[in-house]
Amino acid sequence: MHLPRGGLQWGLLVIIVGVVQALDIDINDPQSIKDAASQTAHGSMLWYKGNETGQIPGAFPDKWWEGSALFMSLLYYWYYTGDSTYNAQVRQGMEWQAGDGDYMPSNYSSYLGNDDQAFWGIAAITAAEMNFTDASKGYSWLSLAQGVFNTQRARWDTSNCGGGLRWQIFPYEAGYDMKNSISNGLLFQLAARLARYTNNDTYSDWADKVWDWSASTPLLNNNTWNVADSTEIQGGCNDQGNNQWSYNYGTYLTGAAYMYNLTEKASWKTAVDGLLNMTLNTFFPQSFGYIMSEVLCEPKEVCNDNEILFKGLVSGWLSLVAKLVPSTYDRILPKLQASAQGAAKSCSGMGNNTCGVRWHLSKWDGLVGMEQQISATDVLSAVLITEKEGGGPLTSSTGGSSSSDPNAGDGKSSSSPNTPKAITTGDRAGAGILTVVFAALWAGLIAFMVIGA
């Protein structure tokens, strides 16, 4: 069994609170799904320290991009369940990490990749599309997405391979000489979502540009619909690292769905169908009961923290695809439902509904981490698309209220600078109460052990 950081504390809590059963959901009962999602969302927030005294809101110093995955998960959770418990922390964290309106914060920007930054841009456009209220002080969600787009557009590298984003931003980073699917796929998705939200041709033109370049390389084969992971600049982007990861497929599929919803062009529908077929056939294996699996790493138990998050991200994106392209709904929903049931059953660990990595086992696999909680929350929230009426994410003309700043991130922004919310006395008191509670539990356990001896 792999215990998390602070595993001793978790173990003590298991002794104290006893055994908790798996989250046994009824897939036809939305309330049971919401109740389960509330448990997994709570579990993910047990790992978040950003609103505690001396901590940095929104920050996970060793894996900065994962903050965006956590907040996206909580946005989906709020959107699909209506529970606003974590909204204040989401808003505070997403604003605090905004940098100069472009998600390049000074504390982390020196080692970020294009994909790291882009995930925060995707979180921001998700907030805008869900009409998550803009912060009263700081940047709007739409302007933050625009800021990421503008800074990444400026990095488009035509001097090597005719275009594309490099994986890493700076020459001293390992991976700078590589162009990969996730960086370019996220830029494509972000441009497509901005195009649909704003109805601005600049964004749709860039979505076309990124797609066409990707399809001109081994990254995206628009005949077989294979999505490779990476290609090397040194070889003229003619080779391919063909590792099969779900999020590479998911990001191109999602962008194509937004473009089809916007334009109704048959070519985009062909792309949606082709990529969806590959995604469902590859990552929802029949041998696993059509429960989603990161097939490259899960069977051998070698997934790292990043890779554990991939299927959670794709679960959320598939819920959007099902709404944006209604013809896909009946194909996507059963796969998400099977996965949600498996994920719920995996959440029976540590005496507190800790979730596992391998949902297809339908039991806890002994693995522990924030990433497991995030992905389980993602898929449990995603199946609640059955409760959402309408044609999918909002736009500026269908009720989206986030304010626009087309110049965000390029030094000409009209947005107000970020004014982060200070950590309040209440926050400090909350942290202090938790410390006192844990100290009492620890003292009680030690006394019990001494007496027992």
3-state helix/strand/coil string of the chain: CECCCCHHHHHHHHHHHCCCCCCCCCCCCHHHHHHHHHHHHHHHHCCCCCCCCCCCCCCCCCCCCHHHHHHHHHHHHHHHHCCCCCHHHHHHHHHHCCCCCCCCCCCCHHHCEHHHHHHHHHHHHHHHHCCCCCCCCCCCHHHHHHHHHHHHHCCCCCCCCCCCCECECCCCCCCCCEEEHHHHHHHHHHHHHHHHHHCCHHHHHHHHHHHHHHHCCCCECCCCCCECCEEECCCCCCCCECCCCHHHHHHHHHHHHHHHHHHCCHHHHHHHHHHHHHHHHHHCCHHHCCCCCCCCCCCCCCCCHHHHHHHHHHHHHHHHHHHHCHHHHHHHHHHHHHHHHHHHHHCCECCCCECCCCHHHCCCCCECCHHHHHHHHHHHHHHHHHHCCCCCCCCCCCCCCCCCCCCCCCCCCCCCCCCCCCCCHHHHHHHHHHHHHHHHHHHHHHHHHHHHC
- Partnered with residue 18 across adjacent β-strands are none
pLDDT for res 61: 77
Mean pLDDT of the chain: 89
Residue 353 has pLDDT above 50, yes or no: yes
Question: Angle at Cα 126 formed by Cα 124 and Cα 130, nearest 5°?
Answer: 120
Nearest residue to 379 (alpha-carbon basis) of 441, 298, 293: 293
Nearest residue to 276 (alpha-carbon basis) of 315, 225, 330, 221: 225
Residue 267: count other Cβ atoms within 10 Å of its Cβ: 13
Tell me the pLDDT tens digit for each residue of 90-142.
Answer: 999 999 999 999 999 998 888 899 999 999 999 999 999 999 999 999 999 99
pLDDT for res 12: 39
What's the whole-number mean pLDDT along residues 211-234? 98
Distance CA 269, CA 422 (A): 47
Tell me the pLDDT tens digit for each residue of 223-247.
Answer: 999 999 999 999 999 999 999 999 9
pLDDT for res 412: 57
Residue 437 has pLDDT above 90, yes or no: no
Distance CA 213, CA 191 (A): 14
Distance CA 365, CA 378 (A): 19
Residue 447 has pLDDT above 70, yes or no: no
The pTM (predicted TM-score) of the whole model is: 0.87
Residue 449 has pLDDT above 70, yes or no: no
pLDDT for res 416: 44
Residue 8 has pLDDT above 70, yes or no: no
Q: In this predicted model, which residue has the larger pLDDT, 436 or 132?
A: 132
Provide the CATH number for the domain formed by 47-243+395-422 in this structure: 1.50.10.20
pLDDT for res 107: 84
Confidence grade of residue 22 (pLDDT, cut at 50, 70, 90): confident
Tell me the pLDDT tens digit for each residue of 145-198.
Answer: 999 999 999 999 999 999 999 999 999 999 999 999 999 999 999 999 999 999
pLDDT for res 411: 66
What's the whole-number mean pLDDT along residues 70-92? 98
Q: Hey, where are the domains in the chain?
A: 47-243+395-422
Residue 161 one-letter amino acid: C
Nearest residue to 155 (alpha-carbon basis) of 112, 195, 122, 197: 112
Residues 6+ apart with CB under 8 A from 165: 114, 152, 155, 156, 157, 179, 183, 184, 187
The tokens describing 341, both together, are 């049931």
Distance CA 289, CA 307 (A): 21
Residue 34 has pLDDT above 80, yes or no: yes
Nearest residue to 315 (alpha-carbon basis) of 365, 378, 273: 378
Tell me the pLDDT tens digit for each residue of 263-306.
Answer: 999 999 999 999 999 999 999 999 999 999 999 999 999 999 99
Q: In this predicted model, which residue has the larger pLDDT, 427 or 352?
A: 352
Distance CA 271, CA 79 (A): 28
Nearest residue to 347 (alpha-carbon basis) of 380, 318, 384: 380
